[in-house]
Amino acid sequence: MSQFWNDRYAQEEYVYGTNANIFFADELSKLNAGKILLSCEGEGRNAVFAAKQGWAVEAFDNSEEGRKKALQLALQNNVAINYKIADAMAIEYPAESFDVVALIYAHFPADIRKTIHQKICNWLKPNGVVLLEAFNPVQLNNDSGGPIDVTMLYTEKILSEDFVELNLEYLLSHRIYLNEGKFHKGVADVIRLIGRKKTT
């Protein structure tokens, strides 16, 4: 899979654009800056946005080409991000080390998805927040991006079970218009989640 993403990110243009995801940017702006993790961060648009808002940014992805472009984008914006090359199943962070973990179009196969989501909950500080936007199964009717394997698309039921450790403040599907580079463009069916880690 890393070869697929390396090939996609190797082109000069930012294939998902350089502007942050709208949902992510809107929700992050409501929070006090702290330490954030961007999972499967690709070309770095969301990580760079967070850094510009004063967040201490950690990010990871399994694509070397994605990391190169993310660091280039950070340099162009005069911010610093710490970006690791790692697989989501293999990477580890200390427990309770992040104020926010963001999953923006981070789709995982069904056999590992729940494990990764539970790891993310462990990395959150008490009262920390998960921000997630992903495609839901109705997206298969659209041509605006996303996995073509329905088992990698998310429903309210799937996410409520995966993130049972969180207080879910928002979990809803939406039909939106995506304009995020050439691979996320057009009418899209997405699901959005805001979850806060319980303090007791």
* Helix, strand, coil shares, percent, the chain, to 5: 30, 30, 35
Query: How many CB atoms within 10 Å of residue 29?
Result: 10
Q: How many CB atoms lie within 10 A of CB 59?
A: 27
Q: What is the mean pLDDT of residues 22-27?
A: 98
Domain count along the chain: 1
Beta bridge partners of 187: 177
When the pLDDT of each residue in the chain is averaged and rounded to a whole number, the result is 96
Q: Are 126 and 195 in contact (CB under 8 A)?
A: no
Residue 55's nearest CA partner among 25, 77, 32 is 32
Cα separation, 81 vs 93, whole angstroms: 16
CATH number of domain containing 169:
3.40.50.150
Angle at 23 between CA 175 and CA 160, to 5 degrees: 75
Condensed to tens digits (0 to 9), the pLDDT of residues 61-116 reads: 999 999 999 999 999 999 999 999 999 999 999 999 999 999 999 999 999 999 99
Residue type, 182: K
User: Pick from 96, 92, 153, 84: which is nearest to 124 by CA?
Assistant: 96
Task: List, for residues 106-117, the tens digit of each pLDDT value.
Answer: 999 999 999 999
Check residue 199 and give its pLDDT.
87
pLDDT computed for residue 31 by the predictor: 98
**pLDDT greater than 80 at residue 200:** no
pLDDT value at residue 118: 96
pLDDT, tens digit, for every residue of 112-131? 999 999 999 999 999 999 99
Predicted confidence at residue 52, as pLDDT, reads: 98
Beta pairing, strands 185-197 & 82-85? unpaired
Residue 98 corresponds to which tokens in the numbers above?
């992040």
Other C-beta atoms closer than 10 Å to the C-beta of 26 total 11
- Residue range(s) defining the domain that contains residue 63: 2-197
Average pLDDT over residues 173-183: 95
The answer to whether the Cα torsion of 147, 149, 155, 157 is positive or negative is negative
Residue 1 has pLDDT above 90, yes or no: no
